[in-house]
Structure 1
Amino acid sequence: MISNLIYVANREIKLGFRNPWAYSFLILFCMFGLSLLVLNAQNVVEGFSGTTGSLLNLILYLLPLMALFIGSFSLTSEREDGAWQLLSTYPLRTSSFVIGKYLGLCCVLITIVFFGYGLMGVVSGFMGNALDLLTYGLFTMFSAGLVCMFVGVALLIGSICSNRWQALTISVSVWFFLVIAWPALLIAILGFVPYAWVQPLLSVLTLLNPAELVRLFVVIKLGGGSILGPEYYRWVFWIQKPGGTAMFMIALCIWIALSMLIVHRIWERRRYLG
């Protein structure tokens, strides 16, 4: 099983680094990130500020879209090109296929993101307005967490779509719902419930949105928890506790594991029922 998993992951890594979409997102990420740092008037960017907030929004818009496109296209192309039909004739477990796909995609996307951060760090360092080391680490964690969670969502989309066009449409819809429209939808939903239900419902809805979950963690860790409002007091208290980071990592792993279980179930059913 391990050898098959490694084979699928290596195959995905090779295909991923040949994908022009990945390099297009890398160029956009570096270009806009460097533009924000160049416009910064401070010598060192640290904590939660206008610059880090803008960079946070840039990452929140770009990385989930990148992960959704590349991840969902990876699975749908397997069926369209007939590769899955060939792989399914081998003694390859569905779990090895799904986990190998996930690990390979995460490796490709995280490598591209880290390269972008490295380039941004070097250029901004020469210009004298580099990110503070702690801030840099939090942004790296934020980006890696987004990629890992949205690759799981992408594989779920790719599992239910029969072609790339369906995957493209659903990926854009999911991205728009979770990233762009989420604040307005949240306000609309919470406006119809009694005030005593606001905090519990807000916590549940936040856990269901990977982008919002990771965003809250990084904003609070950067010291911007006061801008979130009283409804997020429990989140601020929870994340700032000594074990807050460990609990966040556990929540992230549970989220990813549930996504993979659903994807595995879909592909296992398709494998034997057609």
Structure 2
Amino acid sequence: MIQTLYISIRELKLGFRNPWAYSFMGLFALFMLCLLLINAQGYVQGYSGITGTTLNLVLYLLPLMSLLLGSFSLTAEKEDGSWELLSTYPISTWSFMLGKYLGLAVVLLVIVFVGFGAAGLLGLAAGSGFGLQTYVQLLSFSASIALFFLAIALLIGTLAKNRWQALTIGVAIWFFAIIGWPPLLISVLGFMPYPVIKPAVTVLTFVNPAELSRLFTVVKLGGGAILGPEYYEWIKWIKQPAGSIGFAFTAVLWIGCVITSAQFIWERRRSRA
């Protein structure tokens, strides 16, 4: 526990010294403010064009931020020789990886809260913006996206040998999960017999954390009707009182599995060194 805390504090210091973090923070806050200016019609409640645009903005920006910051943090350890120094101390690979995740998670969550906080404060002053429940739901969606893709970033950083490899893999995963996912999903489901489509949609949704978070948020905002009949069981499950608890449990399990995979690969390479 002490080792994990040490790595987390170290990562916090490095993260807030990183100009990338402030660049992403400024970019995210700027786009949130632009959306606020577009909406000058009072407070937005539930799922609407503005909330849909906000979801898309978050899906384009936050996964890429998380993938780059997280993967670069691990590859920098390899390139700068910091890991060779750290490995001389009695620090377990699991403590190292978990500390990295927790420290970077705080950095990313600060970026998210600053972006939404600036929009929320100006919204209160201008008499427009998002209603409280909608605001909290969008904030939770953004936090979940950042935490999901940060776990993937650690796996990328474990596999990549340098920053260029991490950049290539990260952009490829971002493109696949965010931009290429809808046409890919449609094309894959088109070749399947009808009775298999619903189970396939369920499995594929759990594969892509961006789609899982988006689906949960759209239903919570009251926009489940736009998803289609294939997602009827999802809508029923999410609307239940235990839907939020189930989603949180799924997120923790998903993130834990990815971080454990990264830890396993890093440990194998550490033992061979």
TM bracket, shorter-chain basis: over 0.9
For 1:85 and 1:159, how far apart are their aligned partners in 2? 15
Moved over 6 A (4+): none
Paired residues in the alignment total 273
Q: Distance in 1 between matches of 2:36 and 2:46?
A: 14
Q: Which residue of structure 2 lines up, in the alignment, with residue 116 of structure 1?
A: 115
Q: Which residue in 1 is equivalent to 2:165?
A: 166
SS at match of 2:130: coil
> Residue by residue, what CA displacement relative to the aligned partner does 1:85-114 show, whole Å, maximum 9, x if unpaired?
111111111110000000000011101211
Measure, in 1, the Cα distance between the counterparts of 2:40 and 2:235. Answer: 29
Bigger drift between 99-108 and 28-37 goes to: 28-37
Deviations 1:26-58 (A, max 9, x none): 111111111112111421111000001001100
Matched, 1:23 2:36: no
User: Do structure 1's residue 96 and structure 2's residue 95 form an aligned pair?
Assistant: yes
Q: Once the 2 structures are TM-superposed, how far is the Cα of residue 130 of structure 1 from its aligned partner?
A: 2.3
Question: 1:5 aligns to what?
Answer: 4
1:260 paired with 2:259, answer yes
Percentage identity across paired residues of the two chains: 55
SS where residue 17 of structure 1 aligns? helix
After TM superposition, the score normalised by the length of structure 1 is 0.98
The separation in 1 between residues aligned to 2:235 and 2:41, in whole angstroms, is 27
d(CA) in 2 for partners of 1:261, 1:128? 46
Aligned residue number for residue 133 of structure 1:
132
Aligned counterparts of 1:170 and 1:115: Cα–Cα separation in 2: 28
Aligned residue runs from structure 1 range 25-44, under 5 A:
25-44=24-43
What corresponds to 1:200 in structure 2? 199
1:180 is aligned with what amino acid? I
Does 1:222 pair with 2:221?
A: yes
Tell me the SS of whatever aligns to 2:161: coil
CA contact (8 A) 2:39 2:129 kept: no
- Residue 241 of structure 2 corresponds to 242
Structure 1 stretch 113-122 or stretch 33-42: which is displaced more? 33-42
For 2:36 and 2:17, the matched residues in 1 are separated by: 29
Q: Which residue number in structure 2 is paired with residue 179 of structure 1? A: 178
Output the TM-score relative to the length of structure 2. 0.99
Q: RMSD in angstroms over aligned alpha carbons?
A: 0.7
Which amino acid letter does the alignment assign opposite residue 110 of structure 1? L
Separation of aligned partners in 1, 2:100 and 2:114: 21
Distance 2:178 2:6 in 1: 34
**Amino acid corresponding to residue 201 of structure 1 in structure 2:** A
Q: Which residue of 1 aligns with 2:209?
A: 210
Q: CA deviation at 1:81?
A: 0.3
Shift of 1:202: 0.5
Distance in 2 separating the partners of 1:3 and 1:30 = 34
Partner secondary structure for residue 17 of structure 2: coil
**CA deviation after TM superposition for structure 1 residue 117, in Å:** 1.0
**1:234 corresponds to which letter in structure 2?**
E
Distance 1:75 1:234 in 2: 39
Deviation at 1:142, TM superposition (A): 0.4
Q: Name the CA distance, whole Å, in 1 between partners of 2:271 and 2:214.
A: 40
**Could you tell me which residue of structure 1 aligns to residue 148 of structure 2?**
149
In the alignment, residue 64 of structure 2 is paired with which amino acid? L
Q: Deviations over 1:166-189 (max 9, x none)?
A: 000110000000000100000000
